[in-house]
Amino acid sequence: MATLAPPFFLLFWLLRLASTAFPEEPGPLNFIPTEVVRKYPVFLGRPHRSSLRQEPLHIQRVLMVNRTVYIGARDDLYRVELDNVAGDEMFYSKKRTWESNKNDIRTCRMKGKHEDECRNFMKVLLSRRGGLFVCGTNAFNPLCANYTGDTLEMIGDPVSGMARCPYDPKHVNVALFAEGNLFTATVTDFLAIDAVIYRSLGDSPALRTVKHDSKWFREPYFVSSVEWGPHIYFFFREMAMEFNYLEKVQVSRVARVCKSDRGGSQRVLERQWTSFLKARLNCSVPGDSHFYFNLLHSTSPIIRMHDRDIILGVFSTPANSLHQPSCCHWRWAVKSCHSACSTMRICIPGSAVCAFDMEQLARVFDGRFKEQKSPESIWTPVPDELIPKPRPGGCAVQGSRFNSSNGFPDEMLNFVKTHPLMDKAVPSLGQRPWVVRTMVRYQLNKMVLDTEAGPYKNRTVLFLGSSRGTILKFLIVLNRDNTVSSSNVFLEELEGFNPDKCEEDSPQARQLLSLTLDRLSHSLLLTFPSCVVRVPVARCQLYSRCMKNCIASRDPYCGWTRGSTCSFLRPGTRLPFEQDIEQGNVSHLGDCDGLLQESFIDEPDGRVSVNLLVLSAVSAFATGAVLSGLVVCWIMNRRHRNRTRGAGANNRSRKGDKVQNILGPSRSGSVMSVTRTSGSERSRSHSQADNPFVTPNGWSKGDMDPGLPTPEPTPLQQKRPPPSTRLPDGDWDQSQTFLTSVGTPCPANSDIYLSSKFLQERGVRHEDPMEVGPPGAERMRFLVLASHREPHGGQGPRTILRNSAGEYNYPATPQDSPDRRRVVSAPSTQVDYGEPPRWAHEGLNYPYQSQRPGPVRASHHGLADFSHLMGKSVGERNPSGQ
């Protein structure tokens, strides 16, 4: 029980934390059926209904000017009139094709790009002097041109799009015109390595950011840009260099430059920004442990609300939240978050909408700077006394000491070059998001705000778009200081993508590119890669027959009128109506009759509570950990018991084998007794048949310890029983007596052969024509065991096989006799190696002549038969007694 206490204590702690940290997020009041959305008009790139639909559009940009929408796609530029809608489809009034020439396409293909990529994707679409400014990738050779707004005719010649438009259509970019200059944020090279904020096409000199400096940019993803006061603000996200002790962490940034910046001196920051500064955007849920949304996806234009300029942004946690420290719920500090994430790895996918006051944002750039003193040190604030004068990052003002940025001192320019990051982050209004959506199947990435909703233009409605083409509609209730209250209402959710009319239904086709509000027609324009869908801001007709549902919808665009119907309320309407936006009280109303009696308040199918998901996940983890531990313990204990039993049995068996090896068998001696006493109790026939070969050191294969090395690489020494050991039947004595009683030494040039009696498998004799022996004798084969030769043709001294005492000189190891080692190392029988022995004539050490009847030829050396040493009976000798 003591072992199981910590896991259950951890489970209890996680459950309490989950219940307090994941507040329940209510679902939408109304979930719009997909059948309703599929009736809305769609733009498919056709001039009229009878024309055939061609290849996919690959829409890149949408620009709305008054009642006209310009759509920049691949190789084509469309003009669509919003008032010219026929039924369920919108048609273009003008179309201009701008294709890449063949030389650019050929060069693009030679660089390894696909044919579909070597086209002209229009990535910049801006309004300029009553016309259009358009930039396209032009087969990885970007170009820009001016067009008329009505006829879409090109004005003048195209200009280079370098640093104004990306090379690759998959890369992001932002652009805007301010005071006649074009400000862009994109990449300047084919490999998309050099990210830049660039100014061009105006009276001011062209400026750019410092090249290849991670303190300025580190893998940026540009989102938007706005003009406010004397600055241009760029919103983007990038890899944070100040968190160098963590993994790669993406954070959201805002950077600014002065519109009047003219670059630095000839010594420092020449033709580069002298006013570039950047700061982090803080969009998080407050509390004892902050929950951060670090990825910025889109921003709104600057909105004037309650006499304050604010800007909204859509943030999210990383898509792979499981491995991003920035999305952890435990984040008391950066380091503690990292340790908690490394331990727990419990992160939540989600999105949020945060608002920022532009005045608070500008004050952050007047604060302290951040620096890193060495590559190994952490980032710390720069003391105020070390900041040079004039303050780095400021704009040159006419009439002051420095009328132009070219006159700034080098000390100030060097400081701003090496210290572009601010210490403080930009806080969100009210220190909390306006909207939070977690544990959902989509990621919010687009937004548009209607601050004049309702018949009195006093309501604020927020429309959010997701990566799956889903549109969410929120009623925002603000305080006087533009802080959000806790009474925001999730009005409705609908699927904006129309798979019947747009391209095939796929995650790529459902990617929402832009979300635009048409205030005059009270509709939304949803831009997808293959189509543009026009959706009204409200669907009051769904509640037209039921007053209870109309009031309960709490939609500021809808009201119950005298005609007993739920109608769309246009701004300034004089029709009497009834609605309850604050409470939606319908307790005094009866139930509805008919088909609309079904409730739209229920959550859509497939949704489950966030708390239920978290509790289920944590409970499953803890239960699985406990059960896995118990199973592992049981398996290890069982294996340990089996191992203990097997070790005891092996010890007893080895002990018995050692005793038998020392005592030997109770039978007559053999050649094996000379080198080692057999420890087998089997009968002679079985022992000889199963082990017809011996290893080079005299040990039989069956008696070897399997845990030792093989005899070939490591010869084992011959073993003898100790002198004090008394053999039971005199095996050792009999063998030694026989050897010492041999009458004469072996004759010169004689060989010692091994009888074929023991070259049999399982006691079965193998008949072979290579057998010698006298007629009528038992047929035998011979192997050379030892050889005795006279050097120099028999003229040298003989090598005596016995010493002066009459004892036989037996070699200590088989290495003393190469012939014996070669023969005994021959392939074994099928019992050992799975195949029968294969003997060739040249493998034997005597010439082969099948016609000779005797075992010894006259022309051969003398032959001495010691086969009687291998047997225990006289029956194994030939009739002549040899």
164 contact partners, CB below 8 Å, separation of at least 6 = 124, 135, 142, 144, 175, 182, 184, 186, 198, 200
The DSSP code sequence of 53-116 is P-S-----EEEEETTEEEEE-BSEEEEEEEEEEETTEEEEEEEEE-PPPHHHHHHHHHTT--TT
The two tokens of residue 850 are: 């099948």
Domain boundaries, the chain: 543-584, 727-876
Phi/psi of residue 663, each to 5°?
-80, -35
The two tokens of residue 88 are: 């369920």
Reduced DSSP (H G I as helix, E B as strand, rest coil) percent helix, strand, coil of the chain, to 5? 20, 30, 50
Q: For residue 395, count other CB atoms closer than 10 A to its CB.
A: 18
Least confident of 142-151, 565-574, 664-673: 664-673
Q: What pLDDT shows up at residue 684?
A: 41
Edge-to-edge strand list for the sheet holding 444-453: 30-31, 489-495, 470-476, 459-466, 444-453
In 3-state terms, what secondary structure has residue 449?
A: strand
Which tens digits make up the pLDDT trace of 799-809?
A: 444 454 455 45
Confidence band (pLDDT; 50, 70, 90) for 628?
Answer: confident
Q: What pLDDT shows up at residue 371?
A: 93
- For residue 547, pLDDT over 80 is answered with yes
Confidence band (pLDDT; 50, 70, 90) for 289?
Answer: confident
**DSSP assignment letter at 404:** S
Q: 543-584 architecture in CATH? A: 2-Layer Sandwich (3.30)
Q: Which residues are bridge partners to 568 per DSSP? A: 558
**DSSP assignment letter at 426:** B
Q: For residue 767, count other CB atoms closer than 10 A to its CB.
A: 7
Confidence band (pLDDT; 50, 70, 90) for 168?
Answer: very high
Quote the percentage of the chain above a pLDDT of 70.
64
Highest mean pLDDT, choosing among 145-149, 497-501, 698-702? 145-149
Residues 443-459 as b/e (b if ≥16 CB within 10 A, e otherwise) read bbbbbbbbeebbbeeeb
Task: Name the more confident of 552 and 762.
Answer: 552
In angstroms, the first-to-last Cα distance of the chain is 82
Task: Name the more confident of 286 and 695.
Answer: 286
Closest CA to 234 of 268, 285, 195, 201: 195
Mean pLDDT of the chain: 75
Confidence band (pLDDT; 50, 70, 90) for 283?
Answer: very high
Confidence band (pLDDT; 50, 70, 90) for 483?
Answer: confident
- For residue 36, pLDDT over 80 is answered with yes
The DSSP code sequence of 45-69 is S-SSTTSPP-S-----EEEEETTEE
Rg of the chain, C-alpha, whole Å: 48
- For residue 172, pLDDT over 50 is answered with yes
843: left (phi over 0), alpha (psi -120 to 50) or beta: alpha
Give the position of tokens 């010169």.
748
**In whole angstroms, what is the distance from residue 363 CA to residue 252 CA?**
18
User: What is the torsion angle, in degrees rounded to the nearest 10, for the CA atoms of residue 719, residue 722, residue 728 and residue 731?
Assistant: 40
Longest dimension (CA), the chain: 144
Q: What pLDDT shows up at residue 830?
A: 43
**What is the mean predicted confidence (pLDDT) over 195-224?**
95
In single-letter form, the type of residue at position 162 comes to M
**What is the mean predicted confidence (pLDDT) over 240-247?**
80
**In whole angstroms, what is the distance from residue 324 CA to residue 246 CA?**
10
The two tokens of residue 235 are: 């919103």
Task: Name the more confident of 335 and 187.
Answer: 187
In single-letter form, the type of residue at position 272 comes to Q
Q: What pLDDT shows up at residue 277?
A: 97
**In whole angstroms, what is the distance from residue 761 CA to residue 701 CA?**
14
Mark out the alpha helices in 123-261 (DSSP H runs): none
- For residue 717, pLDDT over 80 is answered with no
- For residue 608, pLDDT over 90 is answered with no
- For residue 143, pLDDT over 70 is answered with yes
- For residue 174, pLDDT over 90 is answered with yes
Task: Give Cα separations from 378 to 245, 331, 335, 484, 500 (angstroms).
Answer: 8, 18, 12, 36, 55
**What is the mean predicted confidence (pLDDT) over 80-98?**
91
Q: For residue 804, count other CB atoms closer than 10 A to its CB.
A: 6
Which tens digits make up the pLDDT trace of 772-798?
A: 444 444 444 444 444 444 444 444 444
Contact of 586 with 550, CB cutoff 8 Å: no
185 contact partners, CB below 8 Å, separation of at least 6 = 173, 174, 175, 195, 196, 197, 198, 220, 222, 225, 234, 236
Confidence band (pLDDT; 50, 70, 90) for 360?
Answer: very high
Contact of 702 with 678, CB cutoff 8 Å: no
In single-letter form, the type of residue at position 870 comes to M
- For residue 417, pLDDT over 90 is answered with yes
**In whole angstroms, what is the distance from residue 532 CA to residue 537 CA?**
15
Confidence band (pLDDT; 50, 70, 90) for 609?
Answer: low
Task: Name the more confident of 635 and 777.
Answer: 635
- Classify the C-alpha dihedral 809-814-819-823 as positive or negative: positive
Closest CA to 353 of 247, 443, 272: 443
pTM of the model: 0.67
